[in-house]
Structure formats: structure tokens, C-alpha cells
Amino acid sequence: MPSSREKPVTDMAIGREAFGGADVASRSRVLRRMRLNDLGFRWITRGAALAVLALLGGVIVSLVVGAAPALRAFGFGFLIDESWNPVTETFGALAPIYGTVVTSLIAMAIAVPIGLLIAIFLTELCPLWLRRPIGIAIELLAGIPSIIYGIWGLFVFAPFLQRTLQPALIDLFGNVPLLAAVFEGPPYGIGILTAGLILAIMVLPFITSISRDVFEAVPPVLKEAAYGIGCTTWEVVRHVVIPYTRVGVIGGVMLGLGRALGETMAVTFVIGNAHKVPVSILAPGTTISATIANEFTEAVGDLYTASLVALGLILFVITFTVLAIARYMLMRIERRAGA
């Protein structure tokens, strides 16, 4: 029999053992709850990713089904035909495709170098007291609705170009054999060049903001080391900043290009909405988005509606192709950098 002196010790041991059992059970419940939460989080995120694929697939299927009558009626000729006549139900996508591509190229040719120069100035040369106001101004440009750009372009920017830039371009290149055709014709103010300039203003904030962010992510030790061996600011930007951030810069450029390809309202106001393929960039033209926005509510008949949906399908394919090429370029750059 245990003595009275041993009894408290035995009771304490029994209490510790019981408490330990309860602690183990509590920890087991906590671990089980955490495991269930993690499993639920995993399935929710997976469902979100699959929902994106389902939405994309639904969009593709809807466009293909809606465009099927036009594709059956016109076939491949729909891509190379310039005519667009709702009365005779003769439709071709060449003029909108041409306008979309040319205006986007003009916009990127202007916005990319200017955007990169602004980003370099903000990160490498700009005084601290001026950096924040310029950054805020760029962000405000990105937040302006596209219809405001269109109204401003139609009533302010286009008349300004009609009086100044377009006559100067006509006089400057009028005697140059190849460029004379590109800049010929009366200065209407509106046209493909005006639409390209408006798009350049619209995509400039995106390219500048993304480039500035990736430039600021460059480790300071790399730039300090370059300055320490006697490099100039231009050499640091060229040999350190640009190579280190080229993936991000290309991503920003592709984002701006995607915005330029799909822009609707601003282009609709200033491009002229003429279904033709002009040689001169001063002449009126049209884009895929502008054609759909102008005519979809007035489309009468299945073939007319199907032709507009087919234009949307073509724009989707163009955008997807551009983004796929950009992704492939980024993969090549990353693989080369890893090697």
C-alpha cells in the first residue's frame, strides 16, 4: 500500500497525464482544422483558375458560333476583301484589320521610347521633389476614361493637327518618292495618324508606370558598382538597368500594345470611320473595335451581325497571337539568362 506521503505525488502524476492527453487531443483538432482549411483553400484557388479557363473557352465558343454564318458565306476572302456594303450584304475585314494594325504600330512607335525615357528620368535623374508630382500626373493619365480622350481628340487635338502638324508633314515629304504617298492628301485633322497619336497618349502611362516599377527594383549595389568603376549614367542604364529589367519592360510594352489593339471609343471619335485601306496615314480609316461599336446596334440580318462578330473573333486572334509571341520572347530571354 502506498504511504500517505506518496499519495500526493501519485495524484500529481495522474493529473499531468490527463492534462497531456487533453493537450494532445486539442492539438490534433487544431491540426485537422488547419488541414481542412488548407485543402479548402487549395480547391478554391484551383476553381478560380479553372473558372478563368472556362470563361475564356466560353468567349471563344461564342465568337466562333456567332461568326460561323459569315465565315461560311465569305470564307478566307473575308480577310482580304476591302468592301463593306450592308445593302448588298458584302462584307470584308481588310480595312478594319489594316486600321487596327497601323494605328497600334504608330502608337507603340511613339509611346515606347517616350515611356522608357520618362521612366529612366524618374528613376535615375529626377530630383526627389519632382519625382512624386510627375508620377502622380502619369497615374492620372492612366485613369482618364477613353471617351474623354475621344472628345478631346475630336474637338481639340484634331483641329490642332489640321492646322499645324499635318500641313507640315505634307510639305516636308511631298517630294520624297516613297514617303509622299504616306503623307499625301488634304489635312482632314481626323484620320489614322490622329488615332495613332491618341492611342500613344493612352498607352504611355502603362508603359511608363511598369517600366518605372521594374527600374526601381534593380538592386542599388549593381548600379553603385557600375558607378564605382567610372560608368556614366547612360552606361549604367544601358548595361545594368535595361538588361536586368528587360523581361518586365517587354511585359509592359505588350500590355500597352494589347490596350492599343482593343481601344474603342477614343479611336471611334477621331479615325474617320471610313471602310477603305488608305495608303496615306492622314486619310480617314477604321479599326475593328470602331466598326463594331458604330454598327452593331444597327446591324439588320444574320449575315451583317455575323460579320461583326467575325471581326471580334479576328481581333481576339490578333490579340492572342501578339500575347503568345510576347510570352515566347519572355521565355527565350529567361532561358538565355538562366543559361
| Residues 32-41 pLDDT 10s | 888 888 888 9
Residue 309 near residue 69, CB atoms below 8 Å? no
Residue 243 near residue 255, CB atoms below 8 Å? no
Half-sphere exposure in the Cβ direction for 212 (13 Å, CA): 23
Structure confidence by residue, pLDDT tens digits, 260-319: 988 888 999 999 988 889 889 999 999 999 999 998 888 888 899 999 999 999 999 998
Structure confidence by residue, pLDDT tens digits, 204-263: 999 999 999 899 988 989 888 998 888 888 999 988 998 888 888 888 898 888 889 888
**What's the sign of the alpha-carbon dihedral 34, 36, 42, 45?**
negative
This prediction has a pTM of 0.84
Q: d(Cα 85, Cα 335) in Å, to the nearest integer? A: 50
- pLDDT grade for 45, boundaries at 50, 70 and 90: very high
Structure confidence by residue, pLDDT tens digits, 49-106: 999 999 999 999 999 999 999 999 998 889 988 889 888 888 999 999 999 999 999 9
Query: 75-338 architecture in CATH?
Result: Orthogonal Bundle (1.10)
**DSSP assignments along 189-232, one per residue:** S-SHHHHHHHHHHHHHHHHHHHHHHHHHTS-HHHHHHHHHTT--
**Mean pLDDT lowest for which of 4-8, 139-143, 221-225, 254-258?**
4-8
Q: d(Cα 303, Cα 88) in Å, to the nearest integer? A: 11
pLDDT of 158: 94
Residues 6+ apart with CB under 8 A from 112: 207, 253, 256
| Residue 34 CA, distance from chain mean position | 39
Q: d(Cα 314, Cα 324) in Å, to the nearest integer? A: 15
- Calculate mean pLDDT across residues 26-49: 87
All three cell numbers of 211, joined, read 517600366
In the predicted model, is pLDDT for residue 10 greater than 60?
no
